[in-house]
Amino acid sequence: MFSGLGTLSATSIAPGRLGTPQVIMAMRRAVSRGKRSPTILTLARSLAAQCAHKDRVCWAQRAYDFVRSHIAYVNHPLGLETVTDPDRLLALGAGDCDQQAVLFNALVESMGLRSWFKTIAANPQSRGEWSHVYSLVEIPGVGVLAADCTQLGASLGWEPTGGYESAVWPGSME
C-alpha cells in the first residue's frame, strides 16, 4: 500500500471518510520515520538553534516558517492519495496539505513537541468528506496551536473558520 523510507508512495484509496484512516495511518508512520531521520533531526536542530534557550513557541514558528517557505503547494495526482516521507519531501520541494503536515509534525516532534493532524470537511460540494488536513502542536505552558502551512496569509495559530466538521488524529505512532 504505502511504501517505505524516502519514497513517494501512492495508492488508490476508498473515497471519502472510508479512506481517511488509511491515509492518516500512513502519515503517522511517515512522521515517526521522519523524526528519526538524520536529515530531519539536523534540520530541526538548526531551526531551534535560531531561538532563545527553550523557546518552544519559537521552535514551532521556525518549523512553520520553514515548511511555508521551502515547500510549494501542489495537489496530489488525480485519483491518488500520496504520502511522502519528510526527508523525501525536502528533496522534492513540493507537496499537498498531507505532505506539508507530515513534514511539520516530524520537525516539531524531533524537537520534543507533541503533534496531531486535524482533518476538516471544507469542500462545500462534499460536506460529509474530509477535504483538508493540517497540523496541531502542543507548546507546554502555552497550549495547542494550529499550523496550517498551506493557506496564504495564515500564521502559526490560525485555523480555518466556518464551523467545519473536524476530527483530530495523533501526529505520530508514539
What are residue 166's phi and psi, to 5 degrees?
-145, 165
User: What integer pLDDT is reported at residue 50 of this predicted model?
Assistant: 97
Instruction: Give me the tens of pLDDT residue by residue for the chain, a chain 174 residues long.
Output: 233 334 445 444 554 566 788 899 999 999 999 999 999 999 999 999 999 999 999 999 999 999 999 999 999 888 778 889 999 999 999 999 999 999 999 999 999 999 999 999 887 777 678 888 999 999 999 999 999 999 999 999 999 888 888 999 999 999
Cα torsion 172, 61, 165, 73: sign: negative
Per-residue cell: 37: 531521520
Burial class (CB within 10 angstroms; exposed 0-12, middle 13-18, buried 19+) of 169? middle
User: What integer pLDDT is reported at residue 1 of this predicted model?
Assistant: 27
User: What integer pLDDT is reported at residue 10 of this predicted model?
Assistant: 45
User: Which of 165, 110, 159, 141 is closest to 102 using CA atoms?
Assistant: 110
User: What integer pLDDT is reported at residue 17 of this predicted model?
Assistant: 61
User: What integer pLDDT is reported at residue 16 of this predicted model?
Assistant: 57
What are residue 103's phi and psi, to 5 degrees?
-65, -45
Domain architecture of the chain: domains with CATH: 8-170 (3.10.620.30)
User: Which of 119, 109, 170 is closest to 139 using CA atoms?
Assistant: 109
What are residue 146's phi and psi, to 5 degrees?
-75, 150
